[in-house]
Each structure stands twice: as structure tokens, then as C-alpha cells.
Amino acid sequence: MLNTGALTTAFNKTSDWLTTRVNNIDLFDEHHLIDAKTNPFYAVGSIFYLVWFIVMLTGLVLMMWYIPTKANAFDSILNIQHHIPFGNILRGMHKYGADAMIIAATIRMFRMFLAADYKPGKEFNIAIALVTLLLAMYSGLTGYLLIWNQRAFWATKVFATFPTYMDQFPVMGDFYLPLVKSIHMGWNTAEFLLGAGGAITQETITRFFSLHIAFSLIPLIFVEIYFYRTGFKRVPLNWLKRSVITGMLLAVAVFMPAALGHRSNPDVTPLPILSDWYFLGLYQMYKYLEPVVATEITMVIPLTVVILPFLDVWITGPEKAITKRPLIFMVSLMGFLNWIIFSVLIVINVANIHSDPPWWRNALWLMVDVGVVLQLIVYLTTKDVRQKMAMAKGALTMGIVMAIQGLVGFVYFYMARTEMFLSPLTQAWTYWFFRLSIGDDVATKSETLVRTLTTLRSNPPYWFWQDILARNVDIPDKQVIQQIAVVTDHQTSWDWLFRAIPTFQPDLHWVVQKMNEAHVPISKLDDVLTRPGAYGLTDVQPLQYKGLIDFMISNRWTGDYATFMDRIYGAATAKPYPVECPPVDLAWMIAGPVCAIACFWVYWKFKKLTLDAPAAATAAAATAKTAS
């Protein structure tokens, strides 16, 4: 029977947890007014808000002369820079003010991690600070293109094409038949940002101009509502401090006029292609990785930042002293060093894709491992037994994180050996699991057929075998396609599961049959699929997988398995496999499991601890006093 009391208690606890964190939201350090009087790092939030207004004010003035068209954008900037009174100063304050916003947001983010400003009950503030930083960066990115110079044009061209690689993501991408209906998010994102089929045209500059304004004005509306409802002071800085900050921006604009560069030329590619300074490190990372992987990491980084404060609370509890939180210190240092070093490397145009990534991965993981070891030392050197008992949860949390690192190392080892990405590799292993229920003879036959078609490079490719047969396409390897159709009729004990998976594709055999009945020629098939109602097909039936084998072949998992086996066992291929895993990578791949074992040992050791009688009585008295 459903325990309503337990559900009510759980709901109330969850509600209280969320309410506490929502009430503790801190947009611009308005909860740290006292701290800001003695520590300037607690004034960066107010500085951000002040500079934001300066940027918006100068931007509104510049809009009076700026012309957002391909033909006139660069010339309008020239006009502002050289012919409008104080135009160069206004543009300089606008540009350097945007840079100051990013610097202030970055400093604030690192301060929050190092000072544990997300404790207690303020974990959401990291997400707020991250959104602040990202809005400033993407506002700068959209504004960067508006100059329409050579550097901005090509940097935007590189950056804005990366969303298209989201269509190769597993499960929801277009590369494999999706397990959920594909929304073509990669292409649609690029089309939304750029327009004109993903090329940089007049549509692009129009959209970037509108986004550039929206990234400031729309958040400003919500910020003003927040201050109106809470009653906090917007910029708690005296006039002297405000004047100093404004004067600094003015001085930089006067003595270091904002660069203009050369007019954009789509026919000449500059080398290297450089973005504005805050995205340089990201561009260097793109040089080292495949575009799909780089896009995935770019999306994972913000998620990791949001999760970190919750991990720190589980690992160190209410502790705020950075000397007792070495793991967070090492993670913060690792992020800072990666950003700086990558930015320097792209400026001096140094990028060896063969030797650099292994060292980068090694440094990244090992700095985290060092932080875990130092955190364990803090645990073990703690004298208080009650604190050690509370630290057991932290040791378990770190053990799980290190086990994940070990799992990543295991997967990466085979990725390096076979040069297969994560999606095909995991799909090959999944096929291996289900292969046991297929039977060795049938499985071997299907893999042989797939290998044959892969070697022949069939066009259309073999995974469209149902489409090929329905259209009656005449291709040289059609006989092999027909053999695949026969293999997919083989039944397994898992067919019920795979028949339930939707394909989001029309059943072409059913459509062709209806067309034959209506005497519609097969050449009209694509038009029928586009406008089925015009041909009386108002209830086009969706294609259904025949079962396990059909799913595995149609989604290329059989091919992934065949490729993996050929490469891991060194079958005859154009390139000798398996490839040697970079030796330097072995350090972090081994360190993960070793640290996991150490963490689980500390967890086991601390869970066995018990309080002696006097300490237990003291703890009970303290608990009773707190409850009363």
C-alpha cells in the first residue's frame, strides 16, 4: 500500500531544499556587501553590473551610426572610428567594457569555488554565475562579427559550424537511425544562427545583430524584476569607486583604440584563424580533437561546472577553508591553466595533434587525481572521530568519480587501439552482448554480409537495405542486400523488445503497394512521401523493425562490431591495427582505478569507526540541544 506519509515527507524535504537555494540566489554579490568592504574580490559582481550598463549605454549610442549590412558594416565602423566625434572612444569603451564583463564574471566564478561561496545551501549560485559568464561571452561573440572584418568573419565561420556535429550524437542524431525522433538540432541550430543554409551571409549579420542586443536587454528585464522584488541595491559602490572604474575604461579606450582589422574576404582564409581572446583556448582544443568530440566536450564543460559545488558539499561538507578542500583547488587550477596554456598555444600557432592531446589528457586527469590524494590525506590526518565518520560519504563520492575515470580509461584504451569513437565502440559492445542470443552461425553470416557491402562501398549504403528493396534500386551488390533481408527474418528471444522501438520512417513497402494499386509510377515515390494526402495516403504506416537482427543491421551496430573485431585482432585492412595507445596516456588510465581503490578503502575504514561513550554522550547532547 502506498505510504502517503513518506511521500509527503519527501515532497516537503525537496520543497524546503529548493526553496532554501532559490532564496539564496545571488546575482551580483548583493549578499556580500559587508565582505566587499574588506575584500575587493566580493565587489566584482557589482563591478560587472556597472560595466554592463556602460556597455549597453555606449552600444545604444553606437547603434545610431552602425549599419548592419554586409556592404556597409565595415564602412560604418570606419565612420564611427574616424569621423564621428568621440566615436572611437565610445567604441573603445563598448569593446573593452565587454571584455571587462567577461574578466569580472571569470574572477567571480573562481572566487566562488576557492572561497566556497556556494555553502551552505547556495549551490545554485554557481549556475547563475555560469549563465552570467556565458551571456557575456556569447554577447561578445555575436558583437565580434558585427565589425565584419577578416578575423571576425572566419572565426565566426569556424565556431558556428560546430553545432552541425550535434547531428552525429548517439540516440538523437541523424548519423544512426535515432532511438528518439531526430529534431536535426545540429543543422537547425546552425540555420538559426547563420541562416542561408548555414553560410555566413546578410542573414547572419542580421541575426547576430538582433542576438547581440537580445543577450543584454532580455536578461536586464529579469534582473530588474529581481531587484524590484528583493529590494537589493543594484550597484552598491560609492561614486568614487564608480568613477574609478569608468575612468579606467575611458583611459584604455583613449590610449589603446579598439582594433579594426581588415575588411572580410571570404576568398582568403587567414592562418591561424583566431577568435576574440576569451574563446582562444576553445579554438585550440578544436584543433586537437575530432569535431564531434570537441562539440561534446564543449557541452560537458558547463554541466561539470554546475555539478562541482554539489560534489564539494558531499566531499567536504560545510568546510570552506581552501586548505582543507584541495580537490576543488586542483580542479580550479586545472581549468585555469588549460585556458591560459591553450590560449597561448593558438596565438603562437603551435598544435601537434599527435603529441599534444596525450599530454593534455594526462595533465587534466592527473591534476584531479592529485587533488583526490590530497583530499584523502586531509581525511586521514583529521583527529576528530565524528568528522571522520562524516567524511565517509566524501570518500565514497570520490571513489565513484575515480571509478568513472577508470571506466573512461578502459573505454579510451580501445578507442585508441581501434580509432573508433565512443558511439560506434559502445554499440559494438552492445551488439556483442545481444550476439549471444542470435547464434554464432546467423551472427557470423550477417557480419560477413555487412563486411562485403562495406568493402564494396555500396551506394546507397547497406543500412538502407529496406529502402533499396522497396524502391527496387538496381545496384551491383543488390544480391547481397537481398541476402541481408533473409537474415533479418531470423527470430531471437529479444525481438519483442526491438519491435517496440519506433523507426520514425514510413513503411516503403506498404507505400509502394498502395502506389501500385493506384497506378502511380515508382518515380513519384519521393513526392508521395512528401505529400501523401495528395495521393490518397492519409494513413501512411510507420516502418517496424523485424526484430533484433534488423535493428542491429539497420543501425550499423553489426558493422561497428565487425569493424571493432577486425581492428582489435589485426585483420587485413588498409591501415595496420590495432594502433598503439600513447604510452603517456597510461598514467591517468592507471591512476583512476588506483585512486578509486584508495577512496573505497578510506570509506570502509571510516564506516567502521564508532564513538566512545563520552564522545557519544556529547554528540547526543549536542543533537538534543540543536533539536530544542
What's the half-sphere exposure (Cβ side, CA atoms, 13 Å) at 85? 0
In a domain, 407, yes or no: no
- pLDDT tens sequence across 61-89: 999 999 999 889 999 999 999 999 999 99
> Is the Cβ–Cβ distance between 242 and 48 less than 8 Å?
no
Its domain, for residue 253, covers 13-148+214-258
Q: Which of 356, 43, 35, 475 is nearest to 462 (CA)?
A: 475
| pLDDT band, residue 288 (cuts 50/70/90) | confident
CA distance 542 to 279: 45
Whether the CB-CB separation of 198 and 164 falls below 8 Å is answered with yes
Residue 166's CB is within 10 A of a number of other CB atoms, namely 22
Residue written as cell 532580455?
218
| pLDDT tens figures, 546-575 | 999 999 998 889 999 999 999 998 876 667
Length of the chain: 628
Q: Where are the beta strands (DSSP E) in 399-530?
A: 502-506
- pLDDT of 459 reads 64
* Distance of alpha carbon 177 from alpha carbon 555, whole angstroms: 6
Q: Is 268 domain-assigned? A: no
- Domain-located, residue 601: no
Reply yes or no on whether the pLDDT at 615 is more than 60.
no
Set of cell numbers at residue 3: 505510504
Q: Which of 158-172, 447-461, 589-603 has the highest mean pLDDT?
A: 589-603
Confidence (pLDDT) at 627? 45
- State the pLDDT at residue 260: 87
pLDDT of residue 182: 60
Written as nine digits, the cell of 409 is: 580509461
Q: Is residue 236 a part of any domain in this protein?
A: yes
Listed residues 537, 555, 573: the one ending a domain: 555
Q: Do the domain assignments include residue 431?
A: no
Predicted TM-score of the model (pTM): 0.85
Mean pLDDT of all residues in 115-128: 94
For residue 180, is pLDDT > 70?
no
Helices (H), 116-184: 124-146, 150-161
- What's the pLDDT score for residue 603? 97
Tell me, what amino acid is at 612? D
Whether residue 297 is contained in a domain is answered as no
Domain boundary among 527, 555, 583: 555
Distance CA 372, CA 395 (A): 9
Find where cell 581572446 sits: 277
Grid coordinates in use for 205?
Answer: 549579420
Cα(169)–Cα(583) distance, rounded to whole angstroms? 29
Which CATH number belongs to the domain containing residue 104 in this structure?
1.20.810.10
Q: Does any domain span residue 587?
A: no
CA dist 271 and 269 (Å) reads 7
Model pLDDT, residue 622: 53
Nearest-5° Cα angle at 320, 315 to 322:
85
Mean pLDDT calculated for residue range 535-543: 81
What phi and psi, each to the nearest 5 degrees, are found at residue 488? -65, -15
- Respond yes or no on whether the N-terminal peptide bond of residue 521 is cis (omega within 30° of 0): no
Q: Residue type for 621, please?
A: A
Distance of CA 92 to the CA centre of its chain: 32
Decide if 215 contacts 135 (C-beta within 8 A): yes
Do the domain assignments include residue 116?
A: yes
Total number of domains constituting the chain: 2
Residue 614 has pLDDT above 60, yes or no: no
Listed residue (500, 468, 505, 501) closest to 483, CA to CA = 468
- Domain final residue pick, 258, 293, 316: 258
Cα distances (Å, whole numbers) of residue 544 to 171, 387, 547: 17, 58, 9
Q: What are the pLDDT digits (tens) for 129-169?
A: 999 999 999 898 889 889 999 888 888 887 777 777 777 77
